[in-house]
Amino acid sequence: MADRDYYDILGVGRAVGEEDIRRAFRKKAMEFHPDRNKSSDAEEKFKEVNEAYQVLSDPNKKAQYDQFGKAGVGANGGSGQPFDGFEGFGGFGDIFDSFFGNGPGRRSRAQRGSDLQHRVVLSFEESVFGTEREVDLTRLEDCATCSGVGNEPGTSLETCSTCKGNGQVRRAQRSVFGQFTQVTTCSSCQGRGSIIKTTCSNCRGGGKERKTRKIEVNIPAGVEAGMQVRLTGEGDVGNEGGGTGNLYVYIDVQEHQYFDRDGSDLTYVLPVNIAEAALGVHKPIPTLDGEDEDLHLPQGTQPGSEFRIKGKGVPHLHGSRRGDLLVTIDVRVPGSLDNRQQELLKELAESFAQSNGSSDEDDKGIFNKIKEVLS
202 within some domain: no
Domains in the chain, number: 5
pLDDT average, residue stretch 237-257: 91
Query: What value does the mean pLDDT take over residues 145-173?
Result: 86
- Residue 223 belongs to a domain: yes
> Are residues 132 and 32 part of one domain?
no
Residue (of 321, 326, 274) closest to 295 by Cα position: 326
Residue 352 lies in a domain: yes
Higher pLDDT, 15 or 319: 15
Q: What is the pLDDT of residue 355?
A: 65
Please check whether residues 114 and 251 belong to one and the same domain.
Answer: yes
Considering the domain architecture, whether residues 231 and 357 belong to the same structural domain is answered as no
Residue 348: count other Cβ atoms within 10 Å of its Cβ. Answer: 20
Model confidence pLDDT, tens digit, residues 123-143? 999 999 999 999 999 999 999
Q: Would you tell me how many other CB atoms lie within 10 Å of the CB of residue 214?
A: 8
Predicted confidence band of residue 369 (pLDDT cuts 50, 70, 90): low
Same domain for 222 and 142: yes
Q: In this structure, are 113 and 236 located in the same domain?
A: yes
189, amino acid identity: C
CA 223 centroid distance within chain: 18
Question: Do 237 and 115 reside in the same domain of the chain?
Answer: yes
User: How big is the chain, counted in residues?
Assistant: 375
Beta bridge partners of 216: 134
Comparing C-alpha atoms, which of 231, 217, 234 is closest to residue 141?
Answer: 234
User: Which residues are 120's β-sheet partners?
Assistant: 251
Q: Do 54 and 89 share a domain, yes or no?
A: yes
If one compares 350 and 179, the residue with the highest pLDDT of the two is 350
CATH number of the structural domain spanning residue 92? 1.10.287.110
Where residue 135 sits, what CATH number does that domain have?
2.60.260.20
What is the reported pTM? Answer: 0.59
Within this chain, do residues 82 and 192 fall inside the same structural domain, yes or no? no
**Residue 205 is assigned to a structural domain of this protein:** no
Across 198-212, 213-227, 358-372, least confident range: 358-372
Mean pLDDT of all residues in 189-199: 84
- Average pLDDT of span 53-64: 85
**Nearest in space to 186 (alpha carbons), one of 96, 102, 243, 98:** 102
- Among 51-60, 131-140, 164-173, the minimum mean pLDDT is found in 164-173
Q: Are residues 240 and 117 in the same domain?
A: yes
118 with 215, same domain?
Answer: yes
Q: Which amino acid is at 38?
A: K
Residue 171, domain member (yes or no): yes
Residue 132, beta-bridge partner list: 218
**pLDDT of 338 strictly over 60:** yes
Packing angle of the helix pair 361-374, 339-354 (nearest 10 deg) = 160
- Residues 176, 218, single domain; the answer is no
Q: Which domain holds residue 184?
A: 156-197
Same domain (yes/no): 277, 222: no
Q: What is the pLDDT of residues 102-124, one digit of tens each?
A: 444 444 567 889 999 999 999 99
